[in-house]
Amino acid sequence: MSEIKACIFDLDGVIVDTAKYHYIAWKALANKLGFDFTLEDNERLKGVSRMRSLEILLEIGKIELSQKEMEKLAQKKNEQYVKYIVKMTADEILPGVVDFISELKEQNIKIALGSASKNAVLILEQINLLHVFDALVDGTKVKSAKPNPEIFLKGADELGISPDNCVVFEDAEAGIEAAINAGMRSIGIGSPSNLGKANKVMKDMKGLDFETFIKIFN
Ligand code: BG6
Ligand code: MG
């Protein structure tokens, strides 16, 4: 097995639980358009880009709109979402993340962000984690969405590290597929029911230390 030289982290669902804020904002939009949007529906939006999320939402409500109208709605949704994320603090970082990242730093492992979100920098500033990343790839820098490997390959490239020396942390099935398509190993954060293709699945990073991490791939 190739040596691990870098970890690439997804943001939403891996470092912070922003799905709840996306949900409130999408639900408000759906209700305004006259239909309901459930928590189960929200699962379909995880890892998916903002515009694709809106398309799925409109499919659920059986509503067809022009591109221009869709852009307006996506912007409105984002304005509401941002109202929640500007209130975020470091308290919202998911269990184990800060300790695990500090261990990686001590071990000279490079760290990149690989997130579809265009709000990634804002969120990382809010939770005071922006400074830990050696490379940042977010929704403003890529053309193709996961499962396309572009986000992760760009992250590896910015770090100057080969894909087979990278491990991706992801909570979305499309994200694990993107890691596989990039030729990277991966750890799924969440449930094996949808993340089964990852090398290992864990609920969160609580208690994860470097030794245990390395052993996963031995
Ligand atoms: C992903 C989330 O990280 O970012 C998706 O899992 C979200 O739910 C996507 O739609 C885009 O986010 P944003 O912040 O650019 O609307
Ligand atoms: Mg995610």
The last residue of a domain, from among 85, 109, 132: 85
Active site residue 10: yes
- Residue 39 within a domain: yes
Three-class DSSP category at 188: strand
If asked whether residues 60 and 149 sit together in one domain, one would say no
Q: How far is the CA of 48 from the centre of ligand 1 (A)?
A: 6
For residue 10, give the ligand 1 atom closest to its CA.
3
Q: Which of 51, 70, 85 is the last residue of a domain?
A: 85
Question: Do 134 and 211 fall within a single domain?
Answer: yes
Please indicate, yes or no, whether residues 172 and 145 belong to a single structural domain of this protein: yes
Could you give the CA distance from residue 165 to residue 134 in angstroms, rounded to a whole number?
Answer: 15
Kindly state if the Cβ of 46 falls inside 6 Å of ligand 1: yes
Omega before residue 147 within 30° of 0, cis? yes
Joined tokens for residue 105: 């730093």
**CATH number, position 24:** 1.10.150.240
Which ligand minimizes its atom distance to the CA of 171? 2
Span 171-200, pLDDT tens digits:
999 999 999 999 999 999 999 999 999 999
Gap from CA of 201 to ligand 1 centroid (Å):
21
pLDDT tens per residue, range 154-163 = 999 999 999 9
Distance, in Å, from the CA atom of 187 to the CA atom of 168, rounded to the nearest integer, reads 6
The model's pTM: 0.96
Same domain as 49, residue 148 = no
For 58-73, write each residue's pLDDT tens digit: 999 999 999 999 999 9
| Per-residue pLDDT tens over the stretch 6-44 | 999 999 999 999 999 999 999 999 999 999 999 999 989
- Cβ-contact 95, 208 below 8 angstroms: no
Question: Where a domain ends, among 50, 85, 120?
Answer: 85
Identify the nearest ligand to the CA of 178 by its number.
2
Q: Give the domain extent around 61.
A: 19-85
